[in-house]
Every structure is written in C-alpha cells, then in structure tokens.
Chains A and B, each alone.
Chain A
Amino acid sequence: MENAMCGNNDNNHENNSEVMVAENPADSLEAIRNTISRTRKAVAGAYGSPLMMLWGGLLAIAYLVSHFYLKHAHIIFWTMAIIGGVGSYLVWALLLRKMPFKEPIEEKMNLRIGAMWWLLFLYVSIWLSLLAPFNGMQMNAFIVTAIMFAYVIMGLWFKEMYLLGTGLFVTAMTLVGFFVLPKIYCLWMAFMAGGVIFAIGLYTKLKWN
C-alpha cells in the first residue's frame, strides 16, 4: 500500500519535475556537480583523513620532543616510524570494516600504494647511507621533502588537490625552516609539518565525511 502510494507520488512528481528540470537544467547540473564533488571528497576523506591525522600527530610529537632532546632525535624518529607503521596497518584494517564505500580496484590500488611507500622508504634509506655523513637537520629535511614528494605524486595520481597542496606547502615550510629558521627548525616543523598534516586530516574528516 505504502509502496503503491510512493509509486503514484513518484509518477506525479516525475511529470511535474520533467517540466521543472527542463526549465532549470542549469540547476539540475549544479545539483549533479555538487553531489559528485561531495561524494569524491567523502571517499578521499574516508580513506586519507585517519592516516593523515595519525602521521601528522606523530610527526608533531616527534618534532616537539626532538626540539627539547635534540641528541636523541634519531631514536625519537625511529620510534615514531615504528608506531606509525603499526598504527597505519591497524587503522587501515579497522577502516576497511567500517568503510561506507567499496571500490573494485581497492586491493590492486592498496598494493600499488603500499609498494610506492616501501620503494620510497628504500630510496631514502639508500641515498642516506650513500651520501652520509649528513647532519641531523639535513637528514630530516631530506626525509620530509621525499615523503612530501610522494604526497605530490599521489595528489596528481588520484587528482586530489588536498594531497598535492599538503605536499607543496609542507615542502615549502621545510625549506623555510631549514634555510631561514635553523635554530628553531624542530619547533617550526612540529607546527608547520606535523600540525598542518594533522589539521588537514581533521578538516577532511569533519567537513568531507
């Protein structure tokens, strides 16, 4: 009964809306554009924001602690990398259960993205061992800019402006910290790298989901 009523309403509405849409095709196109944009942002936010928040938060803490205990920076950052790696795996496993979207190319893409990050890790490690000795700040700036380069690539790959923007912004801030503010480099990076990545992750989670 209820369905039948809905069906009748639908038919009436269709006849009316045919006229309405024909008179307002621009409004219909605008509604389509808005819905598509919102959906794409929601997909990007659902996948990217938890990981950005995790890594941004960890980076901010690692830089802050390093600012006060600079001698132990390498231990602090290795600890951060291990926590981040395990945390990413756990977050991803949890996400896949709760995700409101299912993408058919998900598994292939996950493998490719994972492979890209491992290759980047290898690339950075090899260059660091080949070009050593670096001082701590040089090493750090190199690692951060290499990771941000991967953000730029992913931004271009998936046409995600927020990843592209994050990569370019944090790279620029790293260069400013390295060349202009070397004395407060770690403190600067805690806010301008870790803080910014965390904030973008939080923004996309709250606004795009």
Chain B
Amino acid sequence: MAKLNHIIHQPVRLRIMAALCALEQGGQMDFVYLKKMLNLTDGNLGAHLGRLEDVDFIAIEKTFVARKPRTFICVTGKGRDAFNEHVKSLRLIIEDSQTKKK
C-alpha cells in the first residue's frame, strides 16, 4: 500500500513543496512571491514553512538585497526526496484504484 507523507499532503504544504521543487536543485524563492503565488497571508505561510523547516524539508535564508531584508526559501535534498516519494505514492494509489475497477 502506498504511504503518503503526513507533513506534505496537507493541501497548502503540498503546493509550497510543489512550487519549491519546480525550481532547479538549490534554487530559492522569495517569501513574498511565494505568498502571492499561493494566495496566502504572512502568518499562514509562515506557520506552514515553520512546519516544513522543523522536519528539514526546507531551508530558510534571511538576507539583505539592496539594503532591504528579504527571505528566500529552498527545498532541501531530504524534502525533495520526500516530495518525490509522495508523488509516487499518489500515482500508485491511482493505479491501484484503476486496477481494482478493472
């Protein structure tokens, strides 16, 4: 039976991980941009990022660009592996259900 990842499959975190995994390995995305793209509030996104950071699925870097503070987020190798596994599991579930129907 396919095993879904409890942390990732929460709908908001699923989209956060999908957005970050769409970048090249080591690629980072701006916090404000991610917030706008997923239509979330600062607090909501912050809470979900905190949850993902706690399990080392993402890394958060606070930096200054042209003297302005900016926060960049990237997915870790562990996070990418977990996301890929999660996607595999989703596909397996679909395949299983299709096989059962036949």
Binding site for B on A (CB under 8 A): 2-3, 6-7, 10, 13-14, 17-18, 21-22, 25-26, 28-29, 31-32, 35-36, 38-40, 42-43, 97, 100-105
Residues of B within 8 A of A22 (CB): 4, 93
Question: In which size bucket is the chain B interface?
Answer: 35 or more
Q: B69 in the interface, Cβ–Cβ < 8 Å?
A: no
Contact check, A100 vs B32: say whether CB atoms are below 8 A apart: yes
User: What is the bound-complex CA distance between A46 and B28, given in angstroms?
Assistant: 14
Main secondary structure of the interface of A (DSSP, over half): helix
Known A10-B10, A43-B23; further 15 A-B contacts with Cβ < 8 A = A6-B43, A7-B47, A7-B51, A18-B6, A21-B4, A21-B11, A21-B14, A32-B87, A36-B19, A39-B19, A39-B23, A40-B22, A100-B32, A101-B27, A101-B29
Contact check, B94 vs A14: say whether CB atoms are below 8 A apart: no
Residue in A closest to B63 when the chains form the complex, CB atoms: A102
Q: B90 in the interface, Cβ–Cβ < 8 Å?
A: yes
Residue in B closest to A3 when the chains form the complex, CB atoms: B47
A82 to chain B, nearest CB (A): 28
Binding site for A on B (CB under 8 A): 4, 6-7, 9-11, 14-15, 18-19, 21-30, 32-33, 37-38, 43, 47-48, 50-51, 65-66, 72, 87, 90-91, 93-94, 97
User: What is the bound-complex CA distance between A38 and B50, given in angstroms?
Assistant: 23
Contact check, A101 vs B11: say whether CB atoms are below 8 A apart: no
User: What is the bound-complex CA distance between A35 and B97, given in angstroms?
Assistant: 25
Contact check, B94 vs A29: say whether CB atoms are below 8 A apart: yes
Contact check, A25 vs B10: say whether CB atoms are below 8 A apart: no
Given A17-B10, A38-B37, A101-B29, CB of A32 within 8 Å of CB of B50: no
User: What is the bound-complex CA distance between A28 and B90, given in angstroms?
Assistant: 8
Contact check, B29 vs A100: say whether CB atoms are below 8 A apart: yes
Contact check, B10 vs A13: say whether CB atoms are below 8 A apart: yes
Residues of A within 8 A of B23 (CB): 39, 43, 101, 103
Contact check, B15 vs A31: say whether CB atoms are below 8 A apart: yes
Residues of A within 8 A of B30 (CB): 100-101
